[in-house]
C-alpha cells in the first residue's frame, strides 16, 4: 500500500527540527522512536509511517507558528487527532520527510452558547468529552461512533464522520455551525459562531469539513446541540432473510417517523464473530438468523418510544419481517445490545485478515448491493466470508470480507485491490459512493480518480492549489501529489 510518490520529499535537518521543537517546548516534541510508535501505526495495521518529529501544540497560536515555518521551509505536515481514521489519512508516509501535528492537547471547552444551542470546543476534545459537556448542560450532541472515546472533534470534522445517529441528525457536517482553521501559511481564519443562516458568499466552513487535513488545520469548532430525548427504546431483531431488510426499514420509518433514531444491521455470521471474540457478549436471541437489525426509537415523553417500538415489532412479526426480537428493559440491556453492533469491526480481527469497504447506495438498493457484491467476492476469492454491517437507514454498508479459514492472511490481503475495484464497480453501477463516511486518505486515492469525473478531480486540485500552494498539508492524501 505504498506508492513511489510517498517517498519523494526530503526530511527536515537537525536545525529545522530544533526550530519546530522550540515552538512547543522539548516535552511536546517527540523524536524518540519508541514514543513515536503509537502515532505511526493505524488501527487496522495497513500503514506504518515514519517521521523525524511529532509536535503536540497546545494553542491555536502554536499551530499557526508551526504551519508558518513548515510553509516557509516546504515541510509536509500530517494532522492527527485520535488516530482512529480508517483510510490512513493521519499516518505520515514511509519517506520520513513529513512531521506529525498531534492536536490532542488542544483540549479547551471554550463555552456553551447563551441559548444552550451550541458548544464551542477545541479540536483535541474527544467526541465522548464533547458529548459529556453537552449532557452536563442538559443537551445532546448527537454524533456517535464506536471510536468516540479516542476520536477527536477535529478528526470527526476533518473526515465528516457519520456513525449511528445520522438517520435523524445528519453527518458531522450538519452538526457544526462554525470553525476556527489555521491555513497553510499560518494565518488563522476565525469562522466560529452559532448562526443557522449565513449566506455571505462561498461556504468556507464546508470546504474544510471532510478535507482530511489537506486544506487547513481545524483548531476549534462550534457544535450544534439538540434537546436530550426523554426516552430511548432499543430492540435487536432477527430477520428471516435479506428480502425483509428494506420493508422492515420502510415500516419503521412509516410508524416512527423522525423518532426512528437508529436502524443498524449486521449479518448473522458477523454476530457469531462478535459473540466468539468479544468478551462479555452473548446472543440476545435463541437460534441463528441470516440478518439482524438494531432499532432505536427516541421519544420526547416517557413511555412513547417503548410503545411505538413494541407496536412496530408486533406489526413486523405479523408481516413476516421479523422472526424474533429482544427489547431492552433497562439502560444496561440497551448498552449490551449496542455493544454487539459496535464490536462488529473489532470482532473481525479474531477471524484473520479482512478486506473492508465503506460504501453507500440509495437505501432502496442496499439489498441489491449485498447480493451483487457477494457474487463478485465469491468469484474472485472463493471461500472468503462477506460479513456486511452498517447504517442501513443511511444506505451505508461496511462491506467487509473475512478471509477464507486456513488461508494465509497476507495472501488474502494481496487480493484487496482487485476485490475493492469489483465491489466499487457494483456500487457505482447502483448510483453509490465508494466512501460513505471514512474519507479517501491514502486507501482510496487511486479509486477516487477512477470513479470521479475529470472535471471533479480538476476542481479538487484547483481548490487544493489555491489553499495550499506549496503542498505542505497532508501531502499525498485524498489526491496523489
Ligand X SMILES: Cc1cc2nc3c(=O)[nH]c(=O)nc-3n(C[C@H](O)[C@H](O)[C@H](O)COP(=O)(O)OP(=O)(O)OC[C@H]3O[C@@H](n4cnc5c(N)ncnc54)[C@H](O)[C@@H]3O)c2cc1C
Write out the residues near ligand X by the rule CB under 6 A. 43, 78-86, 89-90, 103, 123, 145-147, 150-152, 154-156, 158-159, 161-163, 212-213, 217-218, 345, 437-438, 441, 474, 477
CA gap 101, 78 in Å, rounded: 6
Match 467476492 to its residue by C-alpha cell: 377
CA–CA–CA angle 422, 428, 434 (5° rounding): 80
Residue 332 CB partners (closer than 8 Å, separation 6+): none
- From residue 203, give the alpha-carbon distance in Å to each of 187, 194, 199, 443: 18, 14, 8, 28
- Of all residues in the shown chain, the one whose CB is closest to ligand X is 155
To the nearest whole angstrom, how small is the minimum distance from the Cβ of residue 75 to ligand X?
15
Closest CB 477 distance from ligand X, rounded Å: 6
Sign of the alpha-carbon torsion through 17, 23, 26, 32: negative
In the complex, least distance from residue 162 CB atom to ligand X, rounded to whole angstroms: 4
For ligand X, the closer CB: 158 or 176: 158
CB closer to ligand X, 56 vs 477: 477
Residue 217 or 256 having the CB closest to ligand X: 217
For ligand X, the closer CB: 43 or 226: 43
* Shortest Å distance, C-beta 251 to ligand X: 24
Look up residue 407 and give its three cell numbers.
488461508
Cell readout for 41 is: 501505526
Distance (Å, rounded) from C-alpha 56 to C-alpha 33? 16
User: Whole-number minimum distance, CB 425 to ligand X, in Å?
Assistant: 23
Closest CA to 168 of 41, 237, 258: 258
Closest approach of ligand X to the CB of residue 87, in Å: 8
Burial 432-470 (b: 16+ CB within 10 A, else e): bbbbbbbbbbbbbbebbeebeeeeeeeebeeebeebbeb
**Neighbouring-strand partners of residue 382:** none
Residue 345: name the closest of 23, 44, 126 by CA. Answer: 44
Q: CB of 419: closest distance to ligand X in angstroms?
A: 21
Least distance CB 456 / ligand X (angstroms): 20
Please say which residue, 95 or 147, places its beta carbon nearer to ligand X: 147
Distance CA 400, CA 374 (A): 11
Nearer to ligand X, 299 or 390 (CB): 390
Q: Report the nearest approach of ligand X to the CB of residue 257 (Å).
A: 24
CA–CA gap between residue 90 and residue 35 (Å, rounded): 17
To ligand X, the closest distance from the beta carbon of 91 in angstroms equals 8
CA 359 to chain centre: 12
Pick the closer one to ligand X by CB: 81 or 191. Answer: 81
Q: Return the axis-axis angle of helices 268-277 and 331-342, rounded to nearest 10°.
A: 110
Nearer to ligand X, 212 or 351 (CB): 212
Q: Edge-to-edge, what's the strand order for the sheet holding 99-102?
A: 29-30, 54-55, 99-102, 77-80
Please say which residue, 147 or 222, places its beta carbon nearer to ligand X: 147
**What's the per-residue H, E or C state across 48-94?**
ECCCCCEECCCCHHHHHHHHHHHHHHCCCEEEECCCCCCCCCCCCCC
Determine the 3-state secondary structure of 242 from DSSP.
helix
Grid cell in block for residue 205: 466552513
Sequential DSSP letters for 415-480: THHHHHHHHHHHHHHTT-BSBSSS--TTTTHHHHHHHS-HHHHHHHHHHHHHH-TT--BSTTSSS-
Smallest separation, CB 457 to ligand X (Å) = 19
Cβ-based nearer residue to ligand X, 156 or 401? 156
Closest CB to ligand X among 105 and 315? 105
* Min dist. Cβ of residue 85 to ligand X (A): 3
Closest to ligand X by CB, 184 or 248: 184
Looking up cell 481545524 gives 218
Place of cell 468556507: 204
- The DSSP bridge partners found for residue 217 are 182
Amino acid at each position: 500500500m505504498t506508492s513511489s510518490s510517498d517517498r519523494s520529499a526530503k526530511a527536515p535537518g537537525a536545525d529545522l527540527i530544533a526550530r519546530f521543537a522550540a515552538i512547543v517546548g522539548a516535552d511536546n516534541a517527540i523524536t524518540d522512536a519508541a514514543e513515536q510508535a503509537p502515532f505511526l501505526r493505524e488501527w487496522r495495521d495497513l500503514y506504518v509511517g515514519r517521521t523525524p518529529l511529532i509536535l503536540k501544540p497546545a494553542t491555536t497560536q502554536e499551530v499557526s507558528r508551526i504551519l508558518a515555518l513548515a510553509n516557509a521551509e516546504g515541510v509536509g505536515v500530517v494532522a492527527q487527532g485520535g488516530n482512529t481514521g480508517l483510510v490512513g489519512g493521519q499516518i505520515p508516509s514511509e519517506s520520513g520527510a513529513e512531521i506529525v501535528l498531534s492536536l490532542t492537547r488542544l483540549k479547551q471547552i471554550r463555552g456553551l452558547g447563551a441559548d444552550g444551542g451550541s458548544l464551542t470546543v477545541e479540536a483535541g476534545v474527544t467526541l465522548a468529552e464533547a458529548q459529556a459537556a453537552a449532557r452536563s448542560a442538559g443537551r445532546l450532541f448527537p454524533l456517535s461512533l464506536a471510536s468516540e472515546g479516542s476520536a477527536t472533534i477535529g478528526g470527526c470534522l476533518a473526515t465528516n464522520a457519520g456513525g449511528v445517529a445520522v438517520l435523524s441528525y445528519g453527518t458531522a457536517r450538519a452538526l457544526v455551525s462554525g470553525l476556527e482553521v489555521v491555513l497553510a501559511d499560518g494565518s488563522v481564519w476565525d469562522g466560529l459562531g452559532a448562526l443557522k443562516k449565513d449566506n455571505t458568499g462561498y461556504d468556507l466552513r464546508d470546504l474544510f469539513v471532510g478535507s482530511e487535513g489537506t486544506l487547513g488545520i481545524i483548531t476549534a469548532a462550534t457544535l450544534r446541540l439538540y434537546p436530550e430525548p426523554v426516552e430511548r427504546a432499543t430492540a435487536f431483531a432477527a430477520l428471516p432473510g435479506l428480502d425483509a431488510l428494506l420493508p422492515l426499514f420502510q415500516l419503521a420509518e412509516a410508524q416512527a417517523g423522525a423518532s426512528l433514531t437508529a436502524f443498524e444491521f449486521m449479518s448473522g455470521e458477523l454476530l457469531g464473530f462478535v459473540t466468539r471474540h468479544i468478551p462479555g457478549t452473548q446472543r440476545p436471541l435463541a437460534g441463528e438468523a441470516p440478518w439482524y437489525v438494531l432499532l432505536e426509537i427516541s421519544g420526547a415523553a416517557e413511555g412513547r418510544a417503548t410503545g411505538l417500538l413494541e407496536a412496530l415489532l408486533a406489526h413486523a412479526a405479523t408481516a413476516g419481517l421479523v422472526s424474533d426480537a429482544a427489547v431492552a428493559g433497562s439502560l444496561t440491556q440497551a448498552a449490551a445490545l449496542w455493544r454487539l453492533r459496535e464490536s462488529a469491526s473489532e470482532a473481525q480481527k479474531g477471524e484473520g485478515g479482512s478486506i473492508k469497504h465503506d460504501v453507500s447506495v440509495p437505501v432502496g438498493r442496499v439489498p441489491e448491493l449485498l447480493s451483487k457484491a457477494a457474487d463478485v467476492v465469491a468469484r474472485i476469492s472463493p471461500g472468503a466470508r462477506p460479513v456486511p454491517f452498517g447504517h442501513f437507514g443511511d444506505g451505508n454498508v461496511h462491506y467487509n470480507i473475512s478471509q477464507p479459514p486456513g488461508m494465509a492472511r497476507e495472501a488474502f490481503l494481496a487480493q484487496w485491490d482487485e476485490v475493492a475495484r469489483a465491489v466499487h464497480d457494483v456500487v457505482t453501477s447502483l448510483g453509490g459512493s465508494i466512501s460513505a463516511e471514512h474519507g479517501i486518505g491514502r486507501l482510496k486515492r487511486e479509486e477516487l480518480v477512477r470513479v470521479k469525473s475529470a472535471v471533479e478531480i480538476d476542481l479538487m486540485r484547483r481548490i487544493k492549489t489555491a489553499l495550499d500552494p506549496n503542498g505542505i498539508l497532508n501531502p499525498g492524501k485524498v489526491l496523489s501529489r
